Amino acid sequence: MTVHPSLILFATAAAVALGPRTLRQALLILGAAGALLAAATLPQGEHWSYAIGDLPLELLRVDALSHLFGLIFTLIVAIGALYAWHVARGGEHAATLIYAGGALGVVYAGDWVSAFVWWEVMAWASVFVVWAGGTPRSEAAGFRYLFMHLVGGGLFLLGLAAHLTGGGAMTFGPFGEPGGWAYWLILLAVAINAAIPPLHAWLVDAYPEASITGTVFLSAFTTKTAVYVLIRVFPGSDLLVWVGIVMALYGVVYAVLENNIRRLLGYHIISQVGYMVAAVGIGTPLALGGAAAHAFCHILYKALLLMGAGAVITATGRRKLTDLGGIARQMPVVVVLYMVGAFSISGVPLFNGFISKSMIITAAGDDGRGLAELLLTLASIGTFLHTGLKLPYFTFFGPSRGLAVKAVPRNMVAAMGVAAACCVGLGLAPGWLYARLATPVDYHPYTLDHVAGSLQLLGGTALAFWWLLGKLKGEATESIDTDWLYRTRVPRAMHSAAAMAAATGEAAQAAARSATKLAAAFARDPLAGGRWIVASGSKATASGYDEDRYRLPIGVTVFWVVLALWLVSAAGLALGRGLATGSLPHPAPTYSWPCETRR
């Protein structure tokens, strides 16, 4: 018997939110483990088909691609649940589980309508994960996040309507050649969720403001679900190659400049997703396999990095590089586990980033895209510079600030250990991951040329870091990004529009009051033409109107009433005579009788 993993997560969310607080943690772990088991045991080829009227739906479709993403999504739910074991807020746990369930729903959807519904479930649930930060900044960031994803959902719906009304297939699959409103509208909606610049700033705005545990879930689902949709629907779109390269470089540059550690890691989500987007655009089997493999690996090491950052914030209460430093001795285990994630994301041999990122760079070279290969390699150097060197040095090893360091909950360290073991395990045994890709690939990362070239780049980057150490320490500022538009200009425009509407309403009310007073004055004194009664001392002098002199006699009113009644009666009698004599046409009655033909 197969079970949809999303259904397990939804049931767990209800139990965690409504159940007793003493069982909350146990239910959370059991539900996450059950979803992972369900995803691992789903047989490829399994599908659940339904029909609502003439609308065919496929709630569950398991193939190699959905199976791979289902595995990593449920695995990170289990790791994230362990990381959040100490959190007692049932509402936050419920939101994260529904969010993960929505992402899994998109992955397993076999038709466009189901994919859209799950897409929206994911978007709405993730807003509450952002709001779980519980600060005024998280509340404001959550509303901005909601605004962007409502726009994305609207674009998706418009594109879906154009696709289906234009005779498009209901099956959730490739569009084919670019063209038509449906293609571009849905691609734009997916671009928002993938955080493609300039539509990306919601990510670095909202993720750092979410709760420490919620950010781990946020890093895994929204952008990676978008990557899944790109692989499924838009493979081989040449535009995505250059969009992905821009993402990879853009995220690296802003990460180097950033001071907030979680915001820095947020920018690097954009950079790493850029590799995946570029791979989808290249569209070769090796590139598409690299996109899926890199998404799998990225979810693990990015969660590990954010868990490390969360441990630092929990221990010190600080989140900026300029406020941190000299705490490595107080939390050595966290430092070691964080560095596993840093080496993984930087593509160091024996870690999982090395076996996935290189697939994409190699695919670009094999496809004759030398410039793309060079730029992606350059972005990889920037990754090691800021995530592998700058962030850990100024957080753990830099000048001491005399910070008091509290103990980190053991479950947080244990979750980091599980994620680190997965990163190392995949780096040592990449064949396990390659064997589960949707497109078989013949790729061997551990060649002498590849290992030697990677070590040379990493060593050169380390030397450059020590040389530029004084310039990379960061400043206590926030980088201005494209969210400047809806952080400042859009609110000002909305406030101006609201003030104008309020002023217009007040003017309309004043005009209505004046008109009412004028009408009342005219009714009191018609001969005066509506002039106001002038007050003279304690007495009021009117303009000479005398109602007993100017009003009509009652006989005139009686005359008009009697005349009206006579006209109505005469018309009724004439109509009755016409119908009785047949001089007026009757509408022909129509009847519909059930009948059958007999021989």
pLDDT along the chain (599 residues), means of 10: 90 91 87 95 87 83 95 96 91 94 95 94 95 92 92 94 89 82 94 93 92 94 96 93 94 88 92 95 94 96 95 92 89 95 93 93 93 92 87 88 88 96 95 91 90 90 82 69 75 84 90 86 64 44 60 78 89 79 58 44
Contact status, residue 13 vs residue 93, Cβ threshold 8 Å? yes
Q: Are residues 215 and 244 in the same domain?
A: no
Strands 539-541 and 47-52: unpaired
Helices (H) and strands (E) in the chain, counts: 23, 4
Q: Are residues 120 and 40 in the same domain?
A: yes
Q: What DSSP assignment string belongs to 36-84?
A: HHHHHHPPTT-EEEEEETTEEEEEEE--HHHHHHHHHHHHHHHHHHHHT
Q: Are residues 201 and 339 in the same domain?
A: no
pLDDT at 544: 60
Q: Are residues 304 and 197 in the same domain?
A: no
151: Cα separation from own chain's centroid: 10
Q: Are residues 252 and 219 in the same domain?
A: no
Task: Flag whether 423 is in a domain.
Answer: yes
Q: Are residues 339 and 369 in the same domain?
A: yes
- Contacting residues for 556 by C-beta, under 8 A, at least 6 apart: none
Q: Are residues 217 and 287 in the same domain?
A: no
Domain boundary among 481, 503, 525: 503
Domain boundary among 209, 232, 255: 232
Question: Is residue 264 within a helix (H) or strand (E), and if so which, with residue range?
Answer: helix 261-282
The CA angle 129-132-136, to the nearest 5 degrees, is 120
pLDDT at 578: 74
Q: Are residues 373 and 319 in the same domain?
A: yes
Contact status, residue 153 vs residue 127, Cβ threshold 8 Å? no
For the chain, the domain total comes to 2
Contact status, residue 116 vs residue 176, Cβ threshold 8 Å? no
Nearest to 422 by CA among 433, 437, 438: 433
Task: Flag whether 520 is in a domain.
Answer: no
Range of the domain at 183: 1-232
pLDDT at 23: 85
Q: Give backbone dihedrals phi and psi of 207, rounded to 5 degrees, phi first.
A: -60, -45
Task: Flag whether 539 is in a domain.
Answer: no
pLDDT at 465: 83
Task: Flag whether 526 is in a domain.
Answer: no
Q: What DSSP assignment string belongs to 476-520?
A: S-----TTHIIIIIHHHHHHHHHHHHHHHHHHHHHHHHHHHHHHH
Q: Are residues 241 and 376 in the same domain?
A: yes
Task: Flag whether 574 is in a domain.
Answer: no
Domain boundary among 179, 202, 232: 232
**What pTM was computed for the model?**
0.82
pLDDT at 1: 62
Task: Flag whether 441 is in a domain.
Answer: yes
Task: Flag whether 149 is in a domain.
Answer: yes
Task: Flag whether 530 is in a domain.
Answer: no
pLDDT at 546: 65
pLDDT at 255: 87
Q: Classify burial at 166, counting beta carbons within 10 Å of its beta carbon; exposed 0-12, middle 13-18, buried 19 or more.
A: exposed
pLDDT at 572: 84
Q: Are residues 127 and 161 in the same domain?
A: yes
Q: Are residues 213 and 256 in the same domain?
A: no
Contact status, residue 255 vs residue 267, Cβ threshold 8 Å? yes
Strands 534-536 and 539-541: antiparallel
pLDDT at 596: 45
pLDDT at 221: 95
Nearest to 264 by CA among 181, 118, 129, 388: 388
Q: Are residues 391 and 245 in the same domain?
A: yes
In one letter, which amino acid is 132? A
pLDDT at 573: 85
